[in-house]
Homo-oligomer: A and B are copies of this chain.
Amino acid sequence: MQPLSIIPVHGLPEVRPGDALAALVVASAAAQGTPLLDGDCIVVTQKIVSKAEGRLVPIDPDDRPARRALVESESVRVLRRRGDLIISETPHGFVCANAGIDLSNVDDGWAALLPVDADRSARRIRDALRATHAVTVAVVISDTFGRPWRNGLTDVAIGVAGLAAVVDLRGTTDALGRALQVTEVAVADEVAAAAELVMGKSAAVPVAIVRGLDPAWQRESSSRELVRAPGDDLFR
């Protein structure tokens, strides 16, 4: 395997509803001397995707019943509650805190909702880059989720285009020639986590370029691959 480079993309302007993210990313990447290349994967945070798509709603942050109602309206099932924290399942099938609704890095009095379909968001960026900017890249839309049992949050993929969300190793063997016990790797989640390392939370770095991923992972895909069916889940 070759080395991987993870390049933060600086200098994006504040994103507004209707903005064309593909053009913004191309311009910022070129301006800092790291233009996009065929085979790159770009990781784009949910926040700027939601802003570009106008997934913003007014909210009084001190109105707890209103916040709770908003989370419930963006959920299909509540799994746990503790104080103001709600762990719920979103219409996409993601299980996360507060249905992914977030007030950070959004104008005061507004909340950002998850994209309606982040796979479609990723596909649009990928298609625009190919059609208008003549570069073929994979796109991962990332968000920051907690998880049971382990402290701290990590970035995961909520949308994907042109990259396997999950790589299935069934049929492959270990270095000693035996069938592998670990058979499915959540590559898109690992890509999102890797990108977070150069983004920071307080820095205005909402995009990273991941360069050097295994070309065998390039294919049409969907974040649905990452969603475990409730019947297969031992913890739902």
Chain A residues packing against B (C-beta within 8 Å)? 1-8, 34, 79-80, 82, 87, 94-95, 102-108, 144, 147-156, 165-167, 169, 172-176, 178, 180-182, 184-187, 189-191, 193-194, 196-205, 213-214, 225-228, 233-236
A95 touches B149 (CB 8 A): yes
B176 touches A187 (CB 8 A): no
A105 touches B175 (CB 8 A): yes
Copies of this subunit: 2
Cα-based distance from A134 to B203 in the complex (angstroms): 33
Cα-based distance from A184 to B226 in the complex (angstroms): 23
5 contacts between A and B (CB under 8 A): A2-B198, A87-B234, A151-B184, A152-B165, A152-B186
A197 touches B194 (CB 8 A): yes
A197 touches B213 (CB 8 A): yes
Cα-based distance from A149 to B181 in the complex (angstroms): 20
- A204 CB, min distance to chain B CBs, angstroms: 4
B196 touches A185 (CB 8 A): yes
Looking at the complex, which one of B8, B152, B190 makes contact with A185 (CB distance below 8 Å)? B152
B175 touches A152 (CB 8 A): no
- A21 CB, min distance to chain B CBs, angstroms: 17
A227 touches B182 (CB 8 A): no
Looking at the complex, which one of B166, B201, B225 makes contact with A169 (CB distance below 8 Å)? B201
Cα-based distance from A225 to B106 in the complex (angstroms): 30
Instruction: State whether A226 and B151 are in contact (beta carbons under 8 Å apart), knowing that A1-B8, A1-B203, A102-B181 are contacts in the complex.
Output: yes
A175 touches B149 (CB 8 A): no
B153 touches A194 (CB 8 A): no
Looking at the complex, which one of B2, B107, B148, B204 makes contact with A148 (CB distance below 8 Å)? B148
